[in-house]
Amino acid sequence: MVDTKTALSGWELDNPVIPASGTFGFGQEFAAFYDLGILGSIALKGTTKEPRFGNPTPRIAECTEGMLNSVGLQNPGVHKVIKEELPELKKIFPKKAIANVGGFSEEEYVYVASLFDKEEQIGLIELNVSCPNVHAGGMSFGTDPKKVESLTRAVKAAVKKPLYVKLSPNVTDIAEIALAAESGGADGVALINTLLGMRIDLKTKKPVLANKKGGFSGRAVFPVALRMVYDVYEAVHIPVIGMGGISRAEDVMEMMLAGASAVEVGAENLVDPFACRNMIRDLPRVMEKYGVKSLKEIIGGAHR
Protein backbone atom coordinates (compact mmCIF):
# COMPACT_ATOMS: atom_id res chain seq x y z
CA MET A 1 0.00 0.00 0.00
CA VAL A 2 1.21 3.49 -0.84
CA ASP A 3 0.61 6.55 1.30
CA THR A 4 -0.88 9.55 -0.56
CA LYS A 5 -1.19 11.76 2.53
CA THR A 6 0.51 15.14 2.77
CA ALA A 7 0.37 18.14 5.10
CA LEU A 8 0.19 21.93 4.92
CA SER A 9 1.35 23.69 8.09
CA GLY A 10 0.15 20.88 10.33
CA TRP A 11 -3.11 20.35 8.42
CA GLU A 12 -3.08 16.78 7.08
CA LEU A 13 -4.69 16.02 3.73
CA ASP A 14 -5.69 12.58 2.43
CA ASN A 15 -3.97 13.46 -0.85
CA PRO A 16 -2.33 16.54 -2.37
CA VAL A 17 -4.94 17.25 -5.08
CA ILE A 18 -6.89 20.51 -4.61
CA PRO A 19 -9.07 22.22 -7.24
CA ALA A 20 -7.69 25.74 -7.72
CA SER A 21 -9.60 28.88 -6.90
CA GLY A 22 -11.76 30.18 -9.73
CA THR A 23 -12.02 26.89 -11.59
CA PHE A 24 -14.28 25.00 -9.18
CA GLY A 25 -16.65 27.72 -7.95
CA PHE A 26 -17.93 26.68 -4.54
CA GLY A 27 -18.11 23.01 -5.52
CA GLN A 28 -21.80 22.74 -6.33
CA GLU A 29 -21.48 22.17 -10.09
CA PHE A 30 -18.90 19.42 -9.64
CA ALA A 31 -20.78 17.55 -6.90
CA ALA A 32 -23.07 16.19 -9.61
CA PHE A 33 -20.11 14.38 -11.21
CA TYR A 34 -18.40 12.68 -8.25
CA ASP A 35 -18.04 12.56 -4.46
CA LEU A 36 -16.06 15.68 -3.57
CA GLY A 37 -15.00 14.03 -0.32
CA ILE A 38 -12.15 12.32 -2.16
CA LEU A 39 -10.40 15.67 -2.74
CA GLY A 40 -7.52 16.81 -0.56
CA SER A 41 -9.33 20.14 -0.15
CA ILE A 42 -11.04 22.78 -2.31
CA ALA A 43 -9.74 26.31 -2.92
CA LEU A 44 -12.86 28.45 -2.99
CA LYS A 45 -13.60 31.10 -5.59
CA GLY A 46 -11.67 34.30 -4.96
CA THR A 47 -13.68 36.44 -2.57
CA THR A 48 -13.69 40.19 -1.98
CA LYS A 49 -15.47 42.38 0.60
CA GLU A 50 -18.23 43.53 -1.75
CA PRO A 51 -19.94 41.56 -4.54
CA ARG A 52 -18.24 41.88 -7.93
CA PHE A 53 -19.75 41.33 -11.36
CA GLY A 54 -16.28 41.08 -12.88
CA ASN A 55 -15.01 42.30 -16.23
CA PRO A 56 -17.10 42.85 -19.37
CA THR A 57 -17.48 40.02 -21.89
CA PRO A 58 -15.96 38.39 -23.84
CA ARG A 59 -13.65 37.32 -21.04
CA ILE A 60 -12.62 33.80 -22.09
CA ALA A 61 -10.47 32.87 -25.09
CA GLU A 62 -9.17 29.47 -26.14
CA CYS A 63 -5.47 28.97 -26.83
CA THR A 64 -3.28 26.06 -27.90
CA GLU A 65 -3.00 23.78 -24.84
CA GLY A 66 -4.56 26.43 -22.63
CA MET A 67 -6.95 29.31 -22.20
CA LEU A 68 -7.09 33.03 -21.44
CA ASN A 69 -9.45 34.39 -18.83
CA SER A 70 -10.28 37.90 -17.75
CA VAL A 71 -13.15 37.14 -15.39
CA GLY A 72 -12.04 39.79 -12.90
CA LEU A 73 -12.79 38.21 -9.51
CA GLN A 74 -16.53 37.85 -10.04
CA ASN A 75 -17.96 36.76 -6.67
CA PRO A 76 -20.96 37.35 -4.38
CA GLY A 77 -18.95 39.07 -1.62
CA VAL A 78 -17.61 37.65 1.63
CA HIS A 79 -20.79 38.02 3.68
CA LYS A 80 -22.88 36.04 1.20
CA VAL A 81 -20.14 33.42 0.84
CA ILE A 82 -20.09 32.87 4.60
CA LYS A 83 -23.86 33.01 5.04
CA GLU A 84 -24.92 30.97 1.99
CA GLU A 85 -22.08 29.26 0.15
CA LEU A 86 -20.24 27.71 3.12
CA PRO A 87 -23.39 26.02 4.58
CA GLU A 88 -24.21 24.62 1.13
CA LEU A 89 -20.63 23.44 0.67
CA LYS A 90 -20.76 21.62 3.99
CA LYS A 91 -23.56 19.41 2.62
CA ILE A 92 -21.34 18.09 -0.20
CA PHE A 93 -17.81 18.44 1.20
CA PRO A 94 -17.00 17.09 4.69
CA LYS A 95 -13.46 18.48 4.90
CA LYS A 96 -12.04 21.94 5.45
CA ALA A 97 -11.63 24.26 2.48
CA ILE A 98 -9.16 26.98 1.47
CA ALA A 99 -10.47 30.55 1.43
CA ASN A 100 -9.01 32.60 -1.43
CA VAL A 101 -8.98 36.25 -0.38
CA GLY A 102 -8.86 39.13 -2.85
CA GLY A 103 -8.81 42.86 -2.27
CA PHE A 104 -8.11 46.36 -3.51
CA SER A 105 -6.54 47.74 -0.34
CA GLU A 106 -4.67 46.41 2.68
CA GLU A 107 -7.74 47.11 4.80
CA GLU A 108 -9.99 45.04 2.53
CA TYR A 109 -7.64 42.05 2.57
CA VAL A 110 -7.50 42.19 6.37
CA TYR A 111 -11.29 42.51 6.64
CA VAL A 112 -12.08 39.54 4.39
CA ALA A 113 -9.35 37.31 5.81
CA SER A 114 -10.38 37.99 9.40
CA LEU A 115 -13.98 36.96 8.64
CA PHE A 116 -12.89 33.68 7.02
CA ASP A 117 -10.54 33.08 9.94
CA LYS A 118 -13.56 32.66 12.23
CA GLU A 119 -15.12 29.94 10.08
CA GLU A 120 -14.64 26.33 11.21
CA GLN A 121 -14.95 25.11 7.61
CA ILE A 122 -11.85 27.02 6.56
CA GLY A 123 -8.53 25.24 7.09
CA LEU A 124 -6.22 27.73 5.41
CA ILE A 125 -6.33 31.25 3.99
CA GLU A 126 -4.85 31.88 0.54
CA LEU A 127 -3.98 35.53 0.00
CA ASN A 128 -4.42 36.33 -3.69
CA VAL A 129 -1.91 39.06 -4.53
CA SER A 130 -1.52 37.84 -8.10
CA CYS A 131 -4.76 38.22 -10.09
CA PRO A 132 -3.82 39.92 -13.40
CA ASN A 133 -7.44 40.76 -14.30
CA VAL A 134 -8.24 43.68 -12.01
CA HIS A 135 -6.99 47.24 -12.43
CA ALA A 136 -6.18 47.82 -8.76
CA GLY A 137 -5.25 45.36 -6.05
CA GLY A 138 -4.32 41.80 -7.03
CA MET A 139 -1.16 41.79 -9.13
CA SER A 140 -0.41 45.44 -8.33
CA PHE A 141 0.39 44.20 -4.82
CA GLY A 142 2.04 40.94 -5.84
CA THR A 143 4.75 42.33 -8.12
CA ASP A 144 6.30 44.56 -5.42
CA PRO A 145 8.27 42.75 -2.67
CA LYS A 146 7.77 45.59 -0.17
CA LYS A 147 3.99 45.59 -0.71
CA VAL A 148 3.86 41.79 -0.42
CA GLU A 149 5.76 41.85 2.86
CA SER A 150 3.67 44.68 4.29
CA LEU A 151 0.34 43.17 3.24
CA THR A 152 1.29 39.71 4.48
CA ARG A 153 2.33 41.12 7.86
CA ALA A 154 -0.95 43.04 8.21
CA VAL A 155 -3.13 40.04 7.36
CA LYS A 156 -1.05 37.63 9.45
CA ALA A 157 -1.60 39.86 12.49
CA ALA A 158 -5.37 39.53 12.00
CA VAL A 159 -5.69 35.75 11.55
CA LYS A 160 -4.85 32.58 13.44
CA LYS A 161 -5.24 30.06 10.63
CA PRO A 162 -2.27 29.28 8.33
CA LEU A 163 -1.76 32.06 5.78
CA TYR A 164 -0.44 31.22 2.30
CA VAL A 165 0.37 33.91 -0.26
CA LYS A 166 -0.52 33.15 -3.89
CA LEU A 167 2.25 34.50 -6.13
CA SER A 168 2.25 36.01 -9.59
CA PRO A 169 4.60 34.62 -12.27
CA ASN A 170 4.58 38.03 -13.97
CA VAL A 171 7.74 39.17 -12.19
CA THR A 172 11.48 39.09 -12.87
CA ASP A 173 12.31 36.95 -9.82
CA ILE A 174 9.48 35.03 -8.16
CA ALA A 175 11.82 33.77 -5.42
CA GLU A 176 12.31 37.39 -4.31
CA ILE A 177 8.54 37.79 -3.91
CA ALA A 178 8.32 34.48 -2.02
CA LEU A 179 11.04 35.63 0.37
CA ALA A 180 9.10 38.87 0.95
CA ALA A 181 5.99 36.85 1.85
CA GLU A 182 8.06 34.71 4.21
CA SER A 183 9.53 37.84 5.82
CA GLY A 184 6.00 39.13 6.33
CA GLY A 185 5.10 36.02 8.31
CA ALA A 186 3.45 33.82 5.67
CA ASP A 187 3.06 30.19 6.68
CA GLY A 188 3.42 29.12 3.05
CA VAL A 189 3.24 30.24 -0.57
CA ALA A 190 1.15 29.07 -3.53
CA LEU A 191 2.28 29.41 -7.15
CA ILE A 192 1.83 30.12 -9.93
CA ASN A 193 -1.17 32.24 -10.78
CA THR A 194 -1.81 32.86 -14.47
CA LEU A 195 0.68 34.34 -16.93
CA LEU A 196 -0.37 37.58 -18.59
CA GLY A 197 -1.30 37.03 -22.24
CA MET A 198 -3.59 38.04 -25.08
CA ARG A 199 -5.14 36.95 -28.41
CA ILE A 200 -6.10 39.06 -31.44
CA ASP A 201 -9.08 38.29 -33.70
CA LEU A 202 -7.87 38.30 -37.31
CA LYS A 203 -11.34 39.25 -38.61
CA THR A 204 -11.88 42.27 -36.36
CA LYS A 205 -8.14 42.91 -35.95
CA LYS A 206 -8.80 43.66 -32.30
CA PRO A 207 -8.03 41.84 -29.03
CA VAL A 208 -10.38 38.91 -28.40
CA LEU A 209 -10.91 39.81 -24.73
CA ALA A 210 -12.88 42.94 -23.81
CA ASN A 211 -10.18 43.60 -21.21
CA LYS A 212 -7.56 43.15 -24.00
CA LYS A 213 -5.24 41.08 -21.78
CA GLY A 214 -5.96 38.12 -19.53
CA GLY A 215 -4.47 35.32 -17.50
CA PHE A 216 -3.05 32.39 -19.51
CA SER A 217 -3.38 28.95 -17.93
CA GLY A 218 -3.52 25.32 -18.99
CA ARG A 219 -1.13 22.53 -19.87
CA ALA A 220 1.22 24.79 -21.83
CA VAL A 221 2.34 26.63 -18.67
CA PHE A 222 3.40 23.51 -16.74
CA PRO A 223 7.17 23.70 -17.43
CA VAL A 224 7.22 27.37 -16.40
CA ALA A 225 5.25 26.67 -13.22
CA LEU A 226 7.44 23.70 -12.35
CA ARG A 227 10.62 25.78 -12.70
CA MET A 228 9.19 28.53 -10.50
CA VAL A 229 8.14 26.06 -7.79
CA TYR A 230 11.67 24.62 -7.93
CA ASP A 231 13.23 28.09 -7.55
CA VAL A 232 10.95 29.11 -4.68
CA TYR A 233 11.50 25.85 -2.79
CA GLU A 234 15.22 26.56 -2.82
CA ALA A 235 14.70 30.13 -1.55
CA VAL A 236 12.22 29.76 1.34
CA HIS A 237 11.78 27.60 4.41
CA ILE A 238 7.97 27.43 4.33
CA PRO A 239 5.69 24.98 2.48
CA VAL A 240 4.83 25.46 -1.19
CA ILE A 241 1.57 24.69 -2.99
CA GLY A 242 2.34 24.15 -6.69
CA MET A 243 -0.01 24.84 -9.57
CA GLY A 244 0.01 25.66 -13.25
CA GLY A 245 -0.83 23.27 -16.06
CA ILE A 246 -1.27 20.14 -13.95
CA SER A 247 -3.36 17.60 -15.87
CA ARG A 248 -2.38 14.11 -14.66
CA ALA A 249 -1.02 12.18 -11.69
CA GLU A 250 2.50 12.24 -13.14
CA ASP A 251 2.40 16.05 -13.06
CA VAL A 252 1.41 15.96 -9.39
CA MET A 253 4.49 13.90 -8.56
CA GLU A 254 6.73 16.13 -10.68
CA MET A 255 5.49 19.20 -8.79
CA MET A 256 6.15 17.49 -5.47
CA LEU A 257 9.67 16.51 -6.53
CA ALA A 258 10.22 20.18 -7.40
CA GLY A 259 9.20 21.10 -3.86
CA ALA A 260 5.41 21.31 -3.61
CA SER A 261 3.73 19.84 -0.53
CA ALA A 262 0.37 19.90 -2.35
CA VAL A 263 -0.93 20.97 -5.74
CA GLU A 264 -3.86 22.91 -7.12
CA VAL A 265 -5.50 21.97 -10.41
CA GLY A 266 -6.98 24.84 -12.39
CA ALA A 267 -7.78 24.97 -16.10
CA GLU A 268 -7.92 21.17 -16.43
CA ASN A 269 -11.19 21.19 -14.43
CA LEU A 270 -12.75 23.20 -17.25
CA VAL A 271 -11.48 20.75 -19.86
CA ASP A 272 -12.54 17.64 -17.94
CA PRO A 273 -14.78 17.90 -14.85
CA PHE A 274 -13.40 14.53 -13.69
CA ALA A 275 -9.79 15.73 -13.82
CA CYS A 276 -9.13 15.89 -10.07
CA ARG A 277 -10.95 12.63 -9.42
CA ASN A 278 -8.91 10.87 -12.09
CA MET A 279 -5.61 12.18 -10.73
CA ILE A 280 -6.48 10.95 -7.24
CA ARG A 281 -7.43 7.52 -8.61
CA ASP A 282 -4.23 7.33 -10.68
CA LEU A 283 -1.81 8.46 -7.98
CA PRO A 284 -1.35 5.05 -6.27
CA ARG A 285 -0.68 3.36 -9.62
CA VAL A 286 1.85 6.00 -10.67
CA MET A 287 3.53 5.91 -7.26
CA GLU A 288 3.93 2.14 -7.50
CA LYS A 289 5.25 2.45 -11.06
CA TYR A 290 8.06 4.73 -9.87
CA GLY A 291 8.74 2.98 -6.58
CA VAL A 292 7.32 5.70 -4.34
CA LYS A 293 5.79 4.47 -1.08
CA SER A 294 4.96 7.85 0.49
CA LEU A 295 4.36 11.21 -1.18
CA LYS A 296 5.71 13.08 1.83
CA GLU A 297 9.10 11.44 1.22
CA ILE A 298 9.48 12.86 -2.32
CA ILE A 299 8.74 16.54 -1.52
CA GLY A 300 11.74 18.45 -2.85
CA GLY A 301 13.35 15.20 -3.99
CA ALA A 302 14.70 16.78 -7.20
CA HIS A 303 16.93 19.04 -5.06
CA ARG A 304 18.72 16.18 -3.34
Q: Give the predicted TM-score (pTM) of the model.
A: 0.95
Residue 207 resides in a domain: no
Residue 65 resides in a domain: no
Structure confidence at residue 73 (pLDDT)? 87
Structure confidence at residue 45 (pLDDT)? 96
Q: What is the CATH number of the domain that holds 139?
A: 3.20.20.70
Cβ neighbours around 288 below 10 Å, total = 12
Q: What phi and psi values does residue 25 have, to the nearest 5 degrees? A: 55, -130
List the domain range (segments joined by +) for residue 18.
6-55+73-198+216-303
Residue 297 resides in a domain: yes
- The CA distance from 99 to 211, in Å, is 26
Residue 141 resides in a domain: yes
Looking at residue 294, what DSSP letter applies?
A: B
Residue 285 resides in a domain: yes
Annotated catalytic residue within 131, 235, 258, 295: 131
Is 252 within 8 Å of 13 (Cβ atoms)? no
Domain count, the chain: 1
Q: DSSP assignment of 198-267, as one string? A: --EETTTTEESSTTS-EEEESGGGHHHHHHHHHHHHHH-SS-EEEESS--SHHHHHHHHHHT-SEEEE-T
Residue 121 resides in a domain: yes
- The pLDDT tens digits along the chain (304 residues) read 999 999 999 999 999 999 999 999 999 999 999 999 999 999 999 999 999 998 999 999 999 999 999 988 899 999 999 999 999 999 999 999 999 999 989 999 999 999 999 999 999 999 999 665 454 555 567 889 999 999 999 999 999 999 999 999 999 999 999 999 999 999 999 999 999 999 999 999 999 999 999 999 999 999 999 999 999 999 999 999 999 999 999 999 999 999 999 999 999 999 999 999 999 999 999 999 999 999 999 999 999 9
Residue 204 resides in a domain: no
Cβ neighbours around 199 below 10 Å, total = 17
Burial 160-186, CB ≥16 within 10 A → b, else e: ebbbbbbbbbbbeebbebbbbbbebbb
Q: Is 131 a catalytic residue?
A: yes
Residue 205 resides in a domain: no
